[in-house]
Structure 1
Amino acid sequence: MDETTRPCVLVLRALGLGDLLTAVPALRALRRALPGHEVVLAAPGRLADAAAATGLADRLLPASAPGRGVPAELAWDGPAPAVAVDLHGNGPPSHLLLQRLRPGRLFAYAHPATPAVAGPPWRPDEHERERWCRLLDWYGIPADPQDLFIPPPTEVSPAPGAVVVHPGADAAARRWPPERFAAVAGALHRSGHEVVVTAGAGEGPLARHVAAEAGLAPEAVQGGAGDVPFGRLAALVAGARCVVVGDTGLAHLATALGTPSVVLFGPVAPRLWGPPARPRHRVLWHPGGDASPRPGDAHGPLPDERLLRITVEEVVEAVRTLPEPGLGTRAGRPLVPEGSW
């Protein structure tokens, strides 16, 4: 059966890299439950290489909208999908977008404004991986939120064993101050570790500033004019000693590749978007008196107050005690000798 005659599963997830990677358990469940179907992922075109790297989508249908909005339309020109799956949200815009394609079945969360969608109730305080697995479970497709890894990249790392520092985020509220990232990078560099600073499209000035303040060579910066090509980025993260990052896509890439990480949280609780509770991942979050799931504005114009409570000393100590890559629950040697920063 060729691709023109196979039934199709269309999955809407027109968001960012982290969103794609948190959907890996759900995508794997769909692939496992519907092996004879072509899986088409509706997502931004810039994620084509990342989607291919998961091994869980047969092709990508370019789709995007400003911010985290729902695309106005999908450039769908084939037969109606056998199944359409809304992994984008829970509101009428995404429901109606998929309903216009007249799929045989629509998997989506229930909403009072689209009563024809008979799905499970939405829970606002649920971890993103668990949310989409629960959706599929409701429709009879078993899904495991811990089934989150992607295959190791085939490309060779440009800096094997380096510590990867990623100071960027798509909103200032989730962006730790650059001078603090620089202080962490400088401490790691002075203790003898190679440090690479990564930058997404448009983040070049930020990354170069962090590298310079940390005493790193200009060549330590990867990306900036555009995104680091996904193959190279995945190889860099997979081969890294660890990743130091805010609540952004690179944190999820470290999780998906099993790379040790220190992840800094601010306006959104790690119980909604954080890595699994495993020794190789360290989560830093100081909610103060408000431990609600979303105590701040994730898209605010200034660094969130909870993020600012995280100190350079905390991050260096968290990095110092990370296990070696691949050691699982074993302690591993310290990354930074105690007292060296």
Structure 2
Amino acid sequence: MPALRLMRRALPEHRIVLLGPAWVGDVAGFPVDAVADDAAAPAPDVVVNLHGRGPQSHARLDALARSRPVRRIGHAAPGWDGPAWVDDPERPERRRWCDLLATCGLVGDDEAAVAADDLRLPTPDVGGASLPASGGRRATSSAVVIHPGAAFGSKRWPVDRFAAVAEALAGDGHRVVVTGGRDESALTAAVAAASGGLDLAGRTSLLDLLVLVAGARLVIAGDTGIAHVATAFGIPSVTLFGPVGPTQWGPPADPRHVVLTDASVRRGERFADEPDPALLAVTVDDVLGCARVLVGSSPDRLG
């Protein structure tokens, strides 16, 4: 997002087309003119690789360019001039792409550094959502949103701990809404059962999820997409990090966004089936203590 905003400012005369999934078009404020697949993409004058170091992503853009004399902006690869790819866990990933644009001369170094921390998105239109009600209230209203799933086991905090957090916050008087994909229904059901919360596994569109997070009181999740959405909307969050530390993928420093991990025991195996020790070192009391500070002393009680 920050790099796309920089491109918009640096190339105001260009129409920016993102090669990506159609659902991106549902995100209000996404700074592109269109989203297309390779077949529908127009012939480009400039191709920019903000995805990776290739070769697959470079090849896709080369195929679009064909024999046209287009400008290529990306990391160094055959046919591509640019900076070498460097893995640095102490460097925020959002800085990688903004710094790339600076290195290639589109923006200045200082502009890139400032822009990298601007992750804000405008609040989505609530009227377009189709979320169910809970306790006579729309799910969009000031709930504590808990997301127990993650793509890999290494990033997945034990579900019994999520359930304990949810139960305690429900006991404090907070409404709990649990989110996840259809394949995470066993996790969400356990958390919802412990807290009497609303289980939305597999029941939300992207727009529904954006609206839910934008109206939440607090989001508790592992290092997953929903945590980044909370950052974008400025919603208080507690994010649990395992194999990858928060310096690389976490939010910019902000008292509204708390990150929990223990780097001293991190194993760092991103695709492992078991939770990373850095994640297991985070306790229920750790999460509850931070959550209670963030939500304050006036829960949105049911009834």
Q: TM-score, normalised by structure 2?
A: 0.86
- 1:133 is matched with which residue? 98
* 1:91-149 CA distance string (max 9 Å, x none): 322222211222611110114xx1x2111222211311101000111122233101211
Rate the CA distance shift 1:75–1:249 in 2: closer, same or farther, 3 A: same
- 1:150 is matched with which residue? 121
- 1:84 is matched with which residue? 47
One-letter amino acid matched to 1:310: V
Stretches of structure 1 that go unaligned for 5 or more consecutive residues are: 1-23, 63-73, 325-332, 337-341
What is the DSSP-based 3-state SS (H/G/I as helix, E as strand, rest coil) of the residue aligned with 2:122?
A: coil
CA distance in 1, matches of 2:298, 2:155: 25
2:39 pairs with 1:75: yes
CA distance in 2, matches of 1:301, 1:47: 29
- 2:288 is matched with which residue? 316
CA distance in 1, matches of 2:31, 2:11: 12
Matched residues, number:
278
One-letter amino acid matched to 2:73: F
2:71 pairs with 1:105: yes
CA distance in 2, matches of 1:202, 1:46: 19
Stretches of structure 2 that go unaligned for 5 or more consecutive residues are: 128-137
| Offset, 1:334 | 4.3
2:29 pairs with 1:54: yes
CA distance in 2, matches of 1:84, 1:200: 33
C-alpha RMSD over aligned residues: 1.9
- 2:58 is matched with which residue? 95
Between the aligned residues of both structures, percent identity stands at 46
| Offset, 1:161 | 1.1
- 2:196 is matched with which residue? 216
| Offset, 1:48 | 3.6
- 2:249 is matched with which residue? 273
- 2:217 is matched with which residue? 241
- 1:296 is matched with which residue? 268
Contact 2:154–2:275 (Cα < 8 Å) also in 1 = yes
Q: TM-score, normalised by structure 1?
A: 0.77
Contact 2:176–2:195 (Cα < 8 Å) also in 1 = no
| Offset, 1:209 | 1.7
| Offset, 1:175 | 0.7
Q: 1:122 aligns with which of 82, 85, 88?
A: 85
- 2:16 is matched with which residue? 39
